[in-house]
Amino acid sequence: MEPHWVNARERLPEDGREVYVLVASCVGDDIEYARARRSNARWIFVAKPLYAETVAWIEPCDISLSDDELSRIPKDEIRFWLSASR
């Protein structure tokens, strides 16, 4: 299975599974990648990201990618539903 982004508002990874996530600034003008896992309906980050909105996560979960490799995975289907636009 090719790595692909999954919208975090549509489906979440199983609790406890560490995944790559795409986080965005509240106005959606900047993004970064981070590692996180779900626990009790919230995201627990390996290292605190600069931005607060978790937009999507990578499937399959058991892969290791650099930020450059993550940036090359198409983001066409990601919906940026951010706090400022709700």
**Which pTM was predicted?**
0.84
Q: Is the pLDDT score of 62 beyond 70?
A: yes
- CA-only gyration radius of the chain, Å: 12
Q: Is the pLDDT score of 54 beyond 80?
A: yes
**Side-chain half-sphere CA neighbours of 59 within 13 A:** 10
Q: Which residues of 8-40 are buried (b: 16+ CB within 10 A; e: fewer)?
A: beeebbeeeeebbbbbbeeebeebebbebbbee
pLDDT-based confidence at 86, cuts 50/70/90? very low
Expressed as residue numbers, the domain containing 42 is: 4-85
User: The tokens of 71 are what?
Assistant: 């940036």
Give one DSSP letter per residue of 50-77, joined into a string: S--EEEEEEESSS----HHHHHTS--TT
**Domains in the chain, number:** 1
Kindly state the percentage of the chain with pLDDT values over 90: 63
Q: Which pLDDT score is estimated for 82?
A: 55
pLDDT-based confidence at 83, cuts 50/70/90? low
